[in-house]
């Protein structure tokens, strides 16, 4: 076991060569009266080409705000990127001009949302909406044939082209959501809780579909979920997020085998107790609840819930340490402080 402090930047062999997504020193802010909150503070997050990377964490940990930051498109005018860089196939979404961002959203990254029903205009047919996306991106040639082909790819018949959103089931709509993300052939898909709103059988089908398409297209996927069962099933790498920060990352195999961060350990304990009753929902076996952005604890943000808190945890933020091939931000892995 190595216990040397490293920055995430130094320690990410997956970062080479040219990851499809490379986030560095990202701070996202939400302006509320009298102050600015920071839902995302990510030092480094990398999605290598052709891999499926998970972001996992409790509700409120900043997963969706991270997804919106990647698109540089927020559901609220109060949110914006404060600083940092988000390299998407080499182009920085933070400094790119708005017309270039519009091109990149679609050509370079497709987004699949949890609320698929909200993603569609109720009075325009599915086919027209998908064709509109192609036309916006300058793909006029064979647009209808392309839409029919991508509908077929996600397991929908040609007849769906002329249907309206309210005529489709939740599972079918989420297939359309995936078709919409794929229609401009981006190399990266960001999927935010793509199966959470669906019932269990349909969840499994949508997950199978994502896996198949990922392999057939050699796609990169950033999969945001609170469900560790999904991470185990589909992801190669995983980032664990807590109150806006990454606290641990590494291969799924290593994280599940021996997680190094107490927060990850708690998530996994919760997962195993619930998986035994046959549901994909995780229950977090960690005391207390995640703090809001106005009450972020000093030092290690997890210190008031951690079973191993030491004095230093309350005042100083830990850096990353390599532990058996994982990167964990925890003082337990610092040889000078590991005995409290
Ligand atoms: N419009 C907003 N105004 C103020 N705070 C917000 C706003 N949107 C999100 N937040 C806060 O930002 C933090 C991160 O929220 P986010 O939605 O990214 O979490 P999440 O990990 O996606 O949670 P979930 O699993 O519930 O989807 C939370 O503390 C949330 O309360
Ligand atoms: S730094 Fe301290 S409080 Fe934070 S997870 Fe590690 S032991 Fe727990
Ligand atoms: Mg979310």
171-227: pLDDT as tens digits: 999 999 999 999 999 999 999 999 998 999 999 999 999 999 999 999 999 999 999
Does residue 160 form part of some domain?
Answer: no
Round the CA-based radius of gyration of the chain to a whole number and report it: 20
- The number of the ligand 2 atom at minimal distance from the alpha carbon of 318 is 1
Residue 52 covered by a domain = yes
Rounded to the nearest angstrom, the distance between the alpha carbon of 155 and the centre of ligand 2 is 46
d(CA 126, CA 7): 46
Ligand 2 mutation pick, 243, 259, 313, max ligand atoms within 8 A of CB: 313
Extract the tokens encoding 316: 């100083």
Distance between Cα 308 and ligand 2 center (Å): 6
- pLDDT digits over 304-336, tens only? 999 999 999 999 999 999 999 999 999 999 988
**Encoded tokens for 86:** 């988000």
Polymer length in residues for the chain: 340
Number of domains making up the chain? 1
Q: Per the domain annotation, does 256 fall within a domain?
A: yes
- Nearest-CA residue for atom 16 of ligand 1: 62
- The CATH number linked to 261 is 3.40.50.300
**Ligand 2 and 172: CB distance under 6 A:** no
How far the first Cα of the chain sits from its last, in Å, is 19
pTM: 0.91
Pocket test for ligand 2, best of 308, 315, 317, 327 (most atoms within 8 A of CB): 308
| Residue identifier of the C-alpha nearest atom 30 of ligand 1 | 60
The SS3 call for residue 37 is strand
Q: What b-and-e string marks burial along 293-315, b requiring 16 or more CB atoms within 10 Å of the CB?
A: beeeeebbbbbbbbeebbebbee
Mean pLDDT of 72-76: 94
Q: Is residue 259 part of a domain?
A: yes
Please work out whether the CB of residue 330 comes within 6 Å of at least one atom of ligand 2: yes
Decide if 150 is inside a domain: no
Query: CB within 8 A of 222, min separation 6: which ones?
Result: 21, 47, 53, 55, 67, 70, 188, 189, 190, 191
Answer yes or no: is 176 within a domain: no
Q: Is residue 231 part of a domain?
A: yes
pLDDT at residue 312, rounded to an integer: 97
CA nearest ligand 1 atom 1, residue: 76
312 close to ligand 2 (CB < 6 Angstrom): no
Percent of the chain with pLDDT over 70: 90
Which domain covers residue 218, as residue numbers?
Answer: 5-108+186-333
Could you tell me if residue 93 is inside a domain? yes
């Amino acid at each position: 076991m190595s216990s040397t402090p490293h920055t995430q930047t130094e320690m990410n062999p997956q970062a080479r060569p040219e990851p499809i997504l490379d986030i560095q020193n990202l701070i996202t802010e939400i302006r509320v009266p009298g102050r600015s909150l920071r839902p995302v503070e990510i030092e480094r997050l990398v999605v290598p080409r052709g891999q499926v990377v998970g972001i996992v964490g409790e509700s409120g940990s900043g997963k969706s705000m991270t997804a919106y930051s990647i698109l540089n498109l927020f559901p609220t005018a109060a949110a914006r990127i404060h600083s940092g860089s988000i390299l998407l196939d080499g182009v920085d979404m933070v400094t790119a001009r708005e017309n270039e961002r519009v091109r990149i959203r679609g050509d370079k990254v497709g987004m699949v949302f949890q609320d698929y029903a909200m993603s569609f205009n109720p009075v325009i047919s599915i086919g027209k909406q998908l064709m509109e996306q192609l036309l916006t991106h300058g793909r006029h040639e064979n647009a209808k044939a392309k839409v029919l082909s991508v509908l077929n790819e996600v397991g929908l018949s040609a007849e769906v082209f002329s249907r309206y959103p309210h005529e489709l089931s939740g599972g079918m709509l989420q297939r359309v959501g995936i078709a919409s993300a794929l229609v401009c052939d981006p190399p990266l898909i960001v999927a935010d809780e793509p199966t959470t709103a669906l019932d269990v059988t349909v969840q499994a089908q949508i997950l199978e579909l994502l896996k198949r398409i990922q392999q057939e297209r050699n796609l990169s996927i950033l999969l945001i979920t609170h469900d560790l069962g999904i991470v185990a099933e589909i992801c190669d790498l995983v980032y664990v997020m807590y109150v806006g920060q990454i606290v641990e990352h590494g291969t799924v195999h290593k994280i599940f085998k021996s997680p190094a961060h107490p927060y990850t350990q708690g998530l996994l304990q919760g997962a195993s107790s619930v998986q035994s009753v046959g549901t994909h929902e995780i229950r977090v076996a960690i005391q207390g609840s995640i703090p809001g952005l106005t009450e972020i604890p000093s030092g290690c943000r997890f210190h008031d819930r951690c079973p191993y808190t030491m004095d230093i945890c309350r005042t100083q933020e830990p850096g990353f340490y390599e532990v058996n091939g994982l990167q964990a931000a925890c003082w337990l892995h610092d040889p000078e402080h590991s005995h409290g």
